[in-house]
């Protein structure tokens, strides 16, 4: 069962550009009957492995901005423990409702993207490509000759803030945070969608690893008997996503995932409120 759930999580992660990793937690909650606190670290472990695999694949075909990813990860590593502590202090029902609300926000954003920018909906983690066209960014700019980010103090602070927000959310809810990183990078930098997604993979892998390390440092013991098959399944799902993405990735698929997220969020909320 854990392997099958992992395959589904890996497929969703690989066939979306941002937001797919959030689906891993409710899959474990609804599929195995776990609480959010039990599911979050296992989901993070799987997301970390799948994102690391995606980074290796994307490294030679897309422009991974590794300096930006490392800066975000360092900031996220500082705030992930704060998210973990907040998760321990909040009531389980409150956390579940918060997660359901985040699911709804991510799903609505995916629906809007599928309608307003269908070409971007075809840019998914499993098959990121070259730079492509770039959009303008208000603070971070690219060097005209080298194409690299020009590191100014405002740019560095903004990238750090994105990483800090991602780390806190990862620690609090056990999600990778691509739904924070990708749109934030697109708004703050001149990076293409391909480059933003590829960069987010490295940042997610590092930030998720830091969050899992934080969980273990707090004395939590992961259910390895279920966690490892779930991770293996997620990697298999990511591999399957590479095969399927060129054929099926696009606005219709993204809209379908978004509707599934809305339904999942509604189920989680109803379980708490009934």
Q: Which runs of E-coded beta strand occur in the chain?
A: 141-142, 149-150
Say if residue 17's pLDDT is above 70. no
Reference 23, options 226, 270, 14; nearest CA is 14
**Do residues 25 and 39 make contact, with C-beta atoms less than 8 angstroms apart?**
yes
- Domain definitions of the chain by residue range: 2-273
Neighbour tally for 166: CB within 10 Å:
31
pLDDT in tens, 145-165: 777 888 899 999 999 999 999
pLDDT in tens, 92-112: 889 889 988 988 888 888 788
Per-position b or e across 37-72, b if 16+ CB within 10 A of its CB: bbbbbbbbbbbbbbbbbbbebbeeebbbbeebbebb
In the chain, what's the furthest Cα-to-Cα distance? 60
What pLDDT, on the 0 to 100 scale, is given for residue 113? 72
Task: Kindly state the DSSP code that residue 23 receives in the 8-state scheme.
Answer: G
State the pLDDT confidence band at 70, using cuts at 50, 70 and 90. very high
What pLDDT, on the 0 to 100 scale, is given for residue 112? 81
- Of 169-183, 217-231, 238-252, 257-271, the range with the lowest mean pLDDT is 238-252
The whole-angstrom separation of Cα 14 and Cα 9 is: 9
- Of 85-94, 114-123, 204-213, the range with the lowest mean pLDDT is 114-123
The whole-angstrom separation of Cα 14 and Cα 50 is: 8
């Amino acid at each position: 069962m854990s392997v099958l759930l992992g395959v589904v999580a890996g497929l969703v992660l690989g066939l979306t550009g941002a937001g797919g990793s959030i689906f891993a937690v409710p899959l474990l909650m609804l599929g195995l009957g776990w609480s959010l606190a039990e599911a979050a670290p296992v989901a993070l472990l799987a997301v970390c492995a799948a994102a690391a695999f995606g980074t290796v694949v994307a490294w030679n075909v897309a422009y991974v901005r590794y300096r930006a990813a490392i800066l975000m990860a360092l900031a996220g590593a500082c705030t992930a423990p704060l998210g973990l502590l907040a998760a321990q202090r909040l009531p389980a029902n409150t956390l579940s409702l918060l997660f359901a609300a985040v699911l709804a926000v991510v799903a609505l954003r995916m629906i809007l993207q599928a309608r307003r920018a269908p070409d971007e909906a075809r840019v998914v983690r499993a098959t990121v490509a070259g730079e492509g066209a770039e959009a303008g960014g208000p603070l971070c700019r690219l060097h005209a000759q080298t194409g690299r980010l020009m590191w100014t103090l405002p740019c560095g602070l903004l990238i750090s803030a994105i990483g800090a927000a991602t780390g806190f959310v990862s620690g609090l809810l056990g999600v990778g945070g691509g739904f924070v990183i990708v749109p934030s990078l697109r708004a703050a930098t001149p990076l293409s969608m391909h480059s933003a997604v590829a960069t987010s993979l490295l940042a997610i892998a590092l930030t998720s690893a830091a969050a899992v390390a934080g969980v273990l440092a707090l004395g939590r013991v992961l259910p390895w008997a279920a966690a490892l098959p779930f991770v293996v399944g997620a990697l298999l799902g990511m591999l399957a996503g590479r095969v399927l993405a060129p054929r099926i990735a696009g606005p219709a698929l993204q809209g379908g995932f978004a509707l599934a997220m809305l339904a999942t969020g509604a189920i989680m909320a109803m379980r708490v409120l009934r």
